[in-house]
């Protein structure tokens, strides 16, 4: 492995949430020869982060943390600092509060566990009126059947995800990072190898991009470029939008995030176009395909700007329970959105044990957007070999945790029928007219 200097060539595969953040972090640290390859123009339509909003929670470590809690709390601390103070990220954070709820004894227990670990003050919500009063009158008109939960008024809210992703991309470009995007010139087909190391990547136009170090962060598609030894399970979730009226756009502002861990969540309408985004909660959809060589099942992501009709029904049920006055309106947008789950839902950010030129940064596991600035720091630390010991242990390459991996494990997620669902069994999809470019 060659010595790493600020002139070393660094190739980032994937300019999505983590790749754009990492590019910015490396440019700020003085690296002068950074190239990002992405199969799509940024923000990529298949990036999980190309979305109007994502939930953000603040946090900080404390002396009594065990290793696992320390890793999360330290990451929350780094992310919080960036979302509050970093000029690139700050404009996109809206600390409007966070409501969390469950509707049955099992999910109520999960909610209780969150309350115990939460360092910010919370207020309990146990009746429909309690929930309704968390937003201006006339918004939450639902009956909240069997809902119990809490509101955390400080230290949580949402971030304008696409805005932050684009800001990181523009700032990284301004600082000299080169972005090669689109198909075929930015689409990575394979890694390049010597007998003992990774030498870069080849794109679909036949070009070979050689580099001193390669960082693989292609989200749910990373698994198709490199063998992660079952540590990644590409899993899709389902989101949709409803167009709000001018009047609603004026009044539905600065609202706390509304999240029921078995029903779904919504966040206030986007400032740019007045669309309300919501997500129905479930353990996820996989696209299981048998590998003809090994006979093994793998989940293979694909892009689609529609969601299963069953997901639409679940989303509408959630809206009926909370905001029934808009629950039957047509959808203005829908898509499946892929992330990759590790077996323990902890990120995987490490230098590969065999290929020392390769850093992997994958496994967003449903929490990867709010951590974008903190993950970017860890990617740069992994590259420079300076990651804090407890984080290094948490984010390590760990195929031993995936040996007998059950691809159908719900991984402590709730909703729908409580099972990971197969996209092959979905025969009816929404027919939403508006499509972005895929
Ligand atoms: C529905 C949904 C809701 C979520 N809500 C939240 C939330 O509220 N809060 C939160 O913190 N997190 C949330 N997440 C998780 C978060 O969005 C992800 O963990 C995070 O965005 C993952 O970032 P990434 O960089 O790994 O992947 P991505 O952002 O998906 O980026 C991957 C990039 O790789 C590129 N790429 C793919 N294949 C290739 C190739 N062959 N060659 C070159 N480039 C390639 C893609 O074009 C893309 O730009 C949610 C996820 C989903 C699916």
CATH number at residue 24: 3.50.50.60
The pTM of this model reads 0.97
CATH number of the domain that 432 lies in? 3.30.9.10
In a shared domain, residues 238 and 137: yes
Closest ligand 1 atom to residue 365 Cα is 19
Question: What pLDDT, on a 0 to 100 scale, did the predictor assign at position 435?
Answer: 65
Taking Cα atoms as reference points, which of 257, 272, 258, 338 lies closest to residue 303?
A: 338
Pair 140, 245 in one domain: yes
**Ligand 1 centre distance from Cα of residue 339 (Å):** 6
Q: Give the β-pairing of 98-102 and 148-152.
A: antiparallel
Ligand 1: list residues with CB < 6 Å.
Answer: 13-19, 37-40, 44, 46-49, 54-55, 186-188, 217-219, 221, 225, 237, 239, 279, 337, 339, 364, 366-370
Are residues 9 and 62 both part of a single domain?
A: yes
Query: Do residues 415 and 283 both lie within one domain?
Result: yes
The pLDDT tens digits for 57-109 are: 999 998 889 999 999 999 999 999 999 999 999 999 999 999 999 999 999 99
pLDDT for residue 438: 53
> How many angstroms separate the CA atoms of 362 and 232, rounded?
8
- Reply yes or no on whether the pLDDT at 427 is more than 90: yes
User: What is the rounded average pLDDT of the residues 239-254?
Assistant: 97
Q: Mean pLDDT over residues 132-160, rounded? A: 97
pLDDT, tens digit (0-9, with 9 covering 90-100), for 171-219: 999 999 999 999 999 999 999 999 999 999 999 999 999 999 999 999 9
The ligand 1 atom at the shortest distance from the C-alpha of residue 337 is 53
* Residue 120 CA to ligand 1 centre (angstroms): 28
One domain, residues 28 and 168: yes
> Is residue 344 over pLDDT 80?
yes
Query: Does residue 180 sit in the same domain as residue 84?
Result: yes
Q: Which two tokens stand for residue 419?
A: 């099972």
Query: What does pLDDT average to over the chain?
Result: 96
Residue 436 has a pLDDT of 62
Return the C-alpha torsion angle 384, 385, 388, 389, nearest 10: 170
Query: Quick one: pLDDT at residue 186?
Result: 98
Please give the backbone phi and psi of residue 326, each rounded to the nearest 5 degrees, phi first.
-115, 0
Together in a domain, 335 and 384: no
Q: Which of 11, 12, 14 to mutate to test the pocket of ligand 1 (most atoms within 8 A of CB)?
A: 14
At 104 the pLDDT is 92
253 and 177 assigned to the same domain: no
Q: Are residues 165 and 30 in the same domain?
A: yes
Q: How many structural domains compose the chain?
A: 2
The DSSP output letter for 146 is T
- The pLDDT, as a whole number, for residue 63 is 87
* Residues 266-322 pLDDT 10s: 999 999 999 999 999 999 999 999 988 888 889 999 999 999 999 999 999 999 999
- Checking if the pLDDT of 386 tops 80, the result is yes
269 contacts 241 by C-beta, under 8 angstroms: no
Query: Domain range for residue 292?
Result: 98-154+233-341+408-438
Based on the fold, state whether residues 27 and 108 are members of the same structural domain: no
Instruction: Return the residue whose CA atom lies nearest to atom 26 of ligand 1.
Output: 219
**Residue 261 clears pLDDT 80, i.e. is over it:** yes
The pLDDT of residue 294 is: 82
Give the residue, out of 36, 47, 168, 216, with the most ligand 1 atoms within 8 A of its beta carbon, to mutate for a pocket test.
Answer: 47
SS3 (DSSP) at 216: strand
Strand ranges of the sheet holding 93-94, from the earlier edge strand across to the other edge: 54-57, 156-159, 93-94
Question: Is residue 261 domain-shared with residue 362, that is, in the same domain?
Answer: no
> What is the pLDDT at residue 118?
87
Cα–Cα distance for residue pair 264/414, rounded to 1 Å: 10
Q: What DSSP assignment string belongs to 224-277?
A: GTS--TT--EEEEEEEEEEEPPHHHHHHS-SPPEEEETTTEEEEPPPTTT-EEE
Ligand 1 nearest atom to the CA of residue 40, by list position: 47
Q: Which residue has the tokens 């939008």?
A: 241
CA of 45 to the centre of ligand 1 (A): 10
Mean pLDDT of the 414-422 span: 96
209 and 239 co-located in one domain: no
Which one of 305, 366, 375, 438 would you pick to mutate in the ligand 1 pocket, going by the greatest count of ligand atoms within 8 A of its CB?
366
């Amino acid at each position: 492995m060659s010595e790493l200097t600020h002139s070393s060539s660094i190739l980032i595969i994937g300019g999505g949430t983590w790749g754009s953040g990492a590019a910015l972090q490396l440019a700020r640290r003085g690296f002068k020869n950074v190239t990002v390859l992405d199969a799509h123009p940024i923000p990529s339509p298949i990036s999980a982060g190309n979305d109007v909003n994502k939930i953000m929670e603040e946090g900080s470590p404390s002396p009594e943390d065990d290793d696992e809690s320390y890793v999360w709390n330290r990451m929350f601390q780094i992310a919080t600092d960036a979302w509050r103070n970093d000029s690139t990220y700050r404009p996109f954070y809206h600390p409007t509060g966070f409501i969390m709820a469950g509707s049955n004894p099992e999910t109520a227990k999960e909610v209780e566990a969150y309350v115990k670990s939460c360092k910010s003050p919370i207020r309990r919500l146990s009746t429909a009126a309690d929930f309704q009063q968390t937003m201006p009158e006339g918004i939450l008109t639902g009956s909240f059947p069997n809902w119990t939960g809490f509101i955390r008024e400080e230290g949580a809210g949402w971030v304008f995800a696409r805005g932050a992703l684009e800001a990181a991309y523009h700032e990284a470009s301004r600082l000299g990072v080169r972005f090669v995007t689109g198909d075929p010139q930015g689409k990575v087909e394979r890694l390049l190898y010597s007998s003992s190391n990774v030498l870069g990547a080849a794109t679909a136009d036949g070009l070979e991009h050689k580099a001193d170090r390669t960082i693989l962060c292609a989200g749910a598609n990373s698994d198709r470029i490199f063998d992660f030894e079952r540590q990644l399970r590409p899993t899709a979730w389902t989101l949709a939008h409803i167009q709000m009226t001018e009047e609603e756009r004026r009044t539905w502002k600065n609202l706390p995030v509304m999240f029921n861990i078995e029903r779904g969540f919504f966040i206030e309408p986007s400032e740019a176009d007045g669309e309300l985004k919501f997500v129905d909660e479930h353990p996820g959809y996989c696209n299981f395909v048998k590998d003809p060589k090994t006979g093994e099942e793998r989940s293979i992501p694909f892009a689609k700007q529609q969601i299963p009709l069953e997901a639409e029904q679940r989303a509408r049920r959630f809206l009926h329970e909370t905001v029934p006055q808009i629950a039957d309106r047509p959808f203005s947008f829908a898509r499946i959105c892929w992330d990759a789950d590790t077996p323990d839902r902890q990120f995987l950010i490490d230098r590969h044990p065999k290929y020392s030129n390769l850093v992997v940064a994958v496994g967003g596991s449903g929490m990867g957007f709010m951590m974008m600035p903190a993950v970017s720091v860890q990617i740069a630390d992994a590259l420079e070999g300076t990651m804090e010991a407890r984080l290094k242990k948490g984010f390590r390459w760990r195929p031993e945790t995936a040996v007998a991996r059950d691809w159908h494990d719900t991984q402590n997620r709730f909703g729908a029928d409580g099972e990971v669902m197969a996209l092959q069994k979905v025969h009816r999809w929404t027919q939403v007219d508006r499509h972005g470019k895929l």
